[in-house]
Copies of this chain bind each other. A is one copy, B any other.
Amino acid sequence: MGQKKEIRLRSRFTQDIADSVMRYVASLPFDRRLYKHDIQGSIAHAEMLAEQKIISPRELTQIKKGLQLIQLEIEQGKFQFKPELEDIHMSIESRLYEIIGAAAGKLHTARSRNDQVALDIRLFARETAQDTINVLIKLCSALVNHAGRNIQAVMPGYTHLQQAQPVLYSHYVLAYFEMFRRDIDRLEDYLKRINVLPLGSGALAGVPYPIDREFVARKLGFSSVSANSVDAVADRDFIIEYEAIAAIAMMHLSRFAEEVIIWSSKEFGFIELSDAYTTSSSIMPQKKNPDVAELARGKSARVLGTLAGMLAVMKGLPLAYNRDMQEDKQGFFDTAYTVISSIDVMTGLVASLQVKPARMKASMDSYILATDIADYLARKGLPFREAHDIVGRLVAYAMSQKKELNELDIKGYKRFSPLFKEDVYKINADSSVRARSSYGGTSPDQVKLQIQKAREILRKYEA
């Protein structure tokens, strides 16, 4: 074959691009990870071109074989990436020329790099969203199992990091199930929204060929085709929305990480991390550090920064494609990797977490029951506000006497209200959690109910 080995896009220029400029504008170092999506999209495009008689069956066969060979070369590490071919799309197209000659030139019929790139990232986004859902389901599952295994542990619940009211440890853990479940829901909405084929939009105006976009959409599993060609190449919502969902999910993870860090401090001592999930110190031989949780917490900030950056990239850009938009990829890839690996490693941490119910119990003093005592008075008819006021004074009195509440004798109580009877001594951490049996409350029955519901939800997700 009299092969044409080179793609020339600069025939109108009299001067070549400067080397420093080529390095600056090249996306090949990072967009090469889209090779599979690019080839997948090209094959679907070629099949459509053949279907529509724009290329011949023979050309189709050549193109498909060539692309499959290229995929193999890349996956076997034999593909030679050339820096002067600035992106993965040109790299593949150029190699296809070498392999099949002129027919390669027909693949670009009715297609522009703008809609090609838009397609490739969208395929990546769809895959990433599904992967993220999958690791979130595993994390949810680990949390529910962990909650189920530790249903007996009662811990001080906190607001402002001050002991507030006793809660089941499982109840706290399930709060995180709720958060990550919302993240899954967001991703599912997102997946529906982005499952739209951009290819067939050309550079920005559509294409002057009798293409069949529905055909390509079916081949690639898209549920619809984009309705406006300018928007199709200028849109990066599908990256930013993922980054926003990811930032929220990482924020949730960072909160859980903060609990893990605080709870595994010597002073709290509520949990013990597995050795496999902790690291040592270069200088302090006794150290056992919760680095995994710290990194997950830190990485939530990185994801937040990428989101802010990407919104700022797009801000104020006129239509349609502008090269600024190339900044989308590194942040997106980084966020995808960060989120998925962080969730994955934290799932392992949860699975290996040891809970120390005795330390939790020992940590609670009697003051944590003050609300229960106020509720006790309210049930005897006092407006809650008055009950609150009385118990506040009772607590102040006990503290001034350096006594726990259950160390006060009944006269001590009655000094503050005649409604106090001996049964006030029955109030304890266990009675406190049992009493909170409103829907979604911390009573064991409610928590067990929610564990059961969570398992049903997970079964649905996994189906």
Contacts and interface: CB of A to CB of B under 8 A. Distances in A.
Given A109-B378, A171-B230, A311-B312, 15 more contacts: A10-B392, A13-B288, A157-B204, A158-B204, A161-B290, A171-B228, A179-B237, A227-B439, A237-B248, A241-B244, A248-B311, A255-B319, A258-B317, A298-B322, A316-B316
Interface string A181-220: 0100110010001000000111111111101011000000
B104 A286 contact: no
A50 interface: no
Interface in A411-463: 432-433, 435-443, 446, 450, 453
Interface stretch (A74-82, A124-132, A362-370): A362-370
As for how many copies of this chain the complex holds, the number is 4
A345 interface: yes
Contacts of A288: 12-13, 162
Interface in A351-382: 363, 365, 367-368, 370-375, 378, 382
Which of A258, A392, A446 has the most CB atoms of chain B within a 10 A radius of its CB?
A392
Contacts of A189: 186, 189, 193
A38 B204 CA distance: 49
Nearest to A240: B248
Interface stretch (A16-24, A39-47, A65-73): A16-24
A105 B386 contact: yes
A389 interface: yes
A365 B286 CA distance: 11
Interface in A230-245: 230-235, 237, 240-241, 244
Interface string A132-146: 000000000000000
Given A251-B240, A305-B307, A371 B313 contact: no
Given A295-B326, A392-B8, A161 B370 contact: no
